[in-house]
Chains A and B, each alone.
Chain A
């Protein structure tokens, strides 16, 4: 009977099958992965700083960003770290409070876009046939539609749309890339044995899609979210720059709008234009760096090969007798 048994070596751990502890272990693994990858660490730190600014702005600055009470166009000083706008608003306060709306736009539109990508991509792949053809056609059309002209047309019809319309437009135009990727991935997985095993086991189709397929695509889904977030940050800023959304609200994009409106660069108020621009770029970079890291975490082949300091030389000894 000995031959029948297959010993599993290694230290035995207490069986933990509860969902909460599984989630805890997943978070632990994620934490370790982010810490060990340099790009991920930088991206995570940047994102944490901006998130902190967005969630607790009052801890960083006491000034009201919209109050036009200060002296106009003041340079940087102890009271106003970045100076003031030509309307008398404290730039630093605007920068800190502006993080909130910018981050909300990026994250919410990213999330919604990803959910739509997953739903449409997977539905197309799993249903196949006519539904797939229709969904793919719509997605492909939306993919090649130029976003800006579309937005200008929409702006003409919805002049007071505000942030909600902004997010809506970003989602509808931005889901298509992710949807195509996820559809391809799902298609390539259709005949993996474990899916067939689930079918033969008697599982329902919906169960297979949600429980068996989606978890194996988490790294791609996270990557889709991060990639979409990068684009949306930049797109949203661009749209706000041309006056879309509500210029009265405080965000980095509207800061740029007002800076342009008030000719900040020409009048020497460099910080007004530079600060929001740099921060938009940094936020985009934070998502992008995390995206790189997830690629490497998910696909070990992409990890940089760290060679040890001392490389042994090829031994070339004189062969002995034999």
Chain B
């Protein structure tokens, strides 16, 4: 439910009152295109979801599904040739799309922060961790050295790193510690929303697990919402409240994590779950999902997953598939048309 007025995109959000929904983030019909020489490539199409305060939303998909583009679009970090060509991103009611950098500066890092995929790429290799924290804080108006030092030490302790590492350079830390310091940096202003783009993918399984536990613990302590983008469905399954599965730039399925896992409604989600061999239980032969994601530069008729779908119907190839509501789950599949399982 929302009270809204048309938002004049060119102006910063001051002249229009914020839309009140109670959610930290509302994404409405977001569409992102890449304008290349070959034509327009639609990386994200008509994606809508919302994130409640303190909620952990997992966004899952494979390469080319648009999840990273979606993330960048939400954080307003897209650069040409990528461009938001439709929809709104409402952060606590204010539409971020179209805002200038200076208007965004107040939101960035104070209320919403981003943790990138590879710390070695995101951290400055020639500056110590401490000086990078200092940069971030000074950019947001914190000047007193005492305050900076205190807060830096505090966030490092929060992620389980000894504050004397403020004097270390990124290459002197292990992979896990680097990722933790990225997360510490994201915590500097206790934001309400933290967006994470595959923060664990460069880590080994033991470090991955301890980092996830740490993140969950921090969330419990500080109460921020998390959007966690990953390709590893099994990793996020134990930690997220809701799960969104993306395929070829669209939302395939969105609902409470446990329900999506126990009974996935979309054939892609089901296939994806099946593709994870288990280390416990009986050893069964699996099939995965043969084929590869569609070329997004080509306009496709019908369901994007149809060429690979084991349950495909004839009309799947010709009908554009909308999102259906089935119980508390949204699913983009013609088999769920009447709100249940349509067995043709």
Contact = CB atoms under 8 A, between A and B. Distances in A.
Interface of A: 2-3, 5-7, 303, 305-308, 312-319, 321
B105 interface: no
Contacts of A312: 85-86
27 contacts: A2-B287, A2-B290, A3-B288, A3-B290, A6-B290, A6-B291, A7-B290, A303-B37, A305-B35, A305-B80, A308-B35, A312-B85, A314-B84, A314-B85, A314-B86, A314-B98, A315-B86, A316-B7, A316-B8, A316-B9, A316-B88, A316-B95, A318-B4, A318-B6, A319-B4, A319-B28, A321-B1
A306 B35 CA distance: 8
A306 B37 contact: yes
Nearest to A4: B290
B333 interface: no
Contacts of A321: 1
Interface string B1-20: 11011111100000000000
A308 B98 CA distance: 19
A5 B81 contact: no
B97 interface: yes
A205 to B, nearest CB: 32
A258 B8 CA distance: 69
A313 B87 CA distance: 10
Interface of B: 1-2, 4-9, 28-29, 35, 37, 40, 80-81, 84-88, 95, 97-98, 287-288, 290-291
Contacts of A307: 35
B34 to A, nearest CB: 10
A319 B2 contact: yes
A292 to B, nearest CB: 17
Contacts of B1: 321
A317 B28 CA distance: 10
B81 A305 contact: yes
Contacts of A3: 287-288, 290
A318 B290 CA distance: 41
Contacts of B87: 314-315
Contacts of A317: 6
Given A317-B6, A319-B4, 7 more contacts: A7-B291, A308-B35, A308-B40, A313-B9, A314-B97, A318-B4, A318-B5
Contacts of B98: 314
Contacts of B290: 2-3, 5-7
A314 B11 CA distance: 13
A316 B6 contact: yes
A303 B81 CA distance: 11
Nearest to B97: A314
A133 to B, nearest CB: 27
A313 B28 CA distance: 16
A314 B85 CA distance: 5
A316 B97 CA distance: 10
B333 to A, nearest CB: 19
Nearest to B26: A319
Nearest to A322: B1
Contacts of B84: 314
Nearest to B21: A319
Nearest to A2: B290
Contacts of B85: 312, 314
A317 B95 CA distance: 12
Contacts of B86: 312, 314-315
A314 B86 CA distance: 5
B146 to A, nearest CB: 44
A6 B97 CA distance: 41
Closest 5 CB pairs of A and B: A3-B287, A315-B86, A316-B7, A314-B9, A305-B81
Nearest to A36: B37
Nearest to B95: A316
A319 B50 CA distance: 14
A306 B1 CA distance: 41
A317 B29 CA distance: 10
A308 B88 CA distance: 22
Contacts of A316: 6-9, 88, 95
B112 to A, nearest CB: 20
A279 to B, nearest CB: 34
B133 to A, nearest CB: 32
Contacts of A313: 9
Nearest to A308: B35
Contacts of B291: 6-7
Contacts of A306: 37
A317 B2 CA distance: 13
A190 to B, nearest CB: 21
A167 B37 CA distance: 42
Contacts of A314: 9, 84-87, 97-98
A307 B80 CA distance: 10
Contacts of A5: 290
Nearest to A317: B6
Contacts of B9: 313-314, 316
B339 to A, nearest CB: 15
Contacts of B8: 316
Contacts of B6: 316-318
A29 to B, nearest CB: 15
Nearest to A6: B290
